[in-house]
Structure 1
């Protein structure tokens, strides 16, 4: 199979995002920080913003539910940009090489529609993409097959001609179920090796 298009996830693959980069300065005790992220501002709560819930609604809801953590909850989106540590250099270098080789590049990301613009402004490599689908804008979220199909329809892609890269195994498995060659990202070296096995770098 000749693969023509490369689809990238963003967070954890191209961008180093982690709420701990913000909260490590708020909580002096790492155990308190981990408790807060496991029980208050949880991954499950955050994913609903990626699904389209507004940041203001999400924040207010938690602050009503946990008034004793009002200020810490407010930091999550009040200082959200602090969670963006930087790009993941090895993966971004691969992105440039793929572009130079002539591969069309696409993004398929679970990300809030209200914060994705911060990432676009911060990292110039987003200009390399030929098309991007953002979950928060579409009100669809990986691993729902519908968001993959939306990407295909919008940019006239065929699943069997695409390679998809994501650090979340559930998203990878969903892509494979649709006939996409999917790579479970662990680090840039592993990604380069797996890409080199199926396309010319």
Structure 2
């Protein structure tokens, strides 16, 4: 089946997303484990991804846990240090596809304000032909509505979409809708898949 558009997840595909690693470095692994056991920080982030205001959501969450207030606020105040670094080979693949005239979309669970800010730090995020951002759409992966919204907006048959994501639950929903999928583990594997699909040459995918 031909591929008419390639869809990238962002976290752990184009930008590393390992908040635990940041906290281990800043407050130490032992304190980080204690905080994450007591505070559902990923649940807080899910609210942002679903459209909650980035600042308001995190600062309100911090007030619920005054003993961790400063650490929780880091999720907001030091956001770019949590969402870093970029994955250079993946960025090269994005740009190589666009240079070949292949439509390239982003489909990401990301808040509105923090996505806009992240785009100023990582300019390649502005290079997608279409950005599908959960906070803007008020729908998140892996739930089917966001995938349906992508299909309706781009107007392409589901079976002609090739989607890369690091999470299997996100992949499984896409696959169930007929999308072609790639479980992203490392950029070389993604490069190999793009070559196998005939979208890039080995040289272009290096």
TM-score (norm 2): 0.89
Q: Give, in whole Å, the separation in 1 of the partners of 2:164 and 2:186.
A: 11
Q: Give, in whole Å, the separation in 2 of the partners of 1:154 and 1:182.
A: 19
1:49 aligned residue: 48
1:148-171 CA distances to partner (integer Å, 9 max, x unpaired)? 111121222221111001011100
1:16-61 CA distances to partner (integer Å, 9 max, x unpaired)? 233245424531x312113323432522221111011223442344
1:70 aligned residue: 69
Q: Find the residue that maps to 1:85 and give its secondary structure.
A: coil
Contact map agreement 2:54 2:112 (CA 8 A) in 1: no
Q: Give, in whole Å, the separation in 2 of the partners of 1:42 and 1:71.
A: 13
1:6 aligns with 2:3: no
Equivalenced residue count is 200
Q: Give, in whole Å, the separation in 1 of the partners of 2:40 and 2:13.
A: 22
Gaps of 5+ in 2: 201-206
- Over the aligned positions, Cα root-mean-square deviation in angstroms equals 1.7
2:204 aligned residue: none
> Cα distance, 1:126 vs. partner?
2.1
TM-score (norm 1): 0.91
1:180 aligned residue: 179
In the superposition, relative to structure 1, how do residues 158 and 140 fare at CA in structure 2: closer, same or farther (>3 Å)?
A: same
Q: Which moved more, 1:111-120 or 1:79-88?
A: 79-88
Runs of 4+ in 1 over 3 A off after TM superposition: none
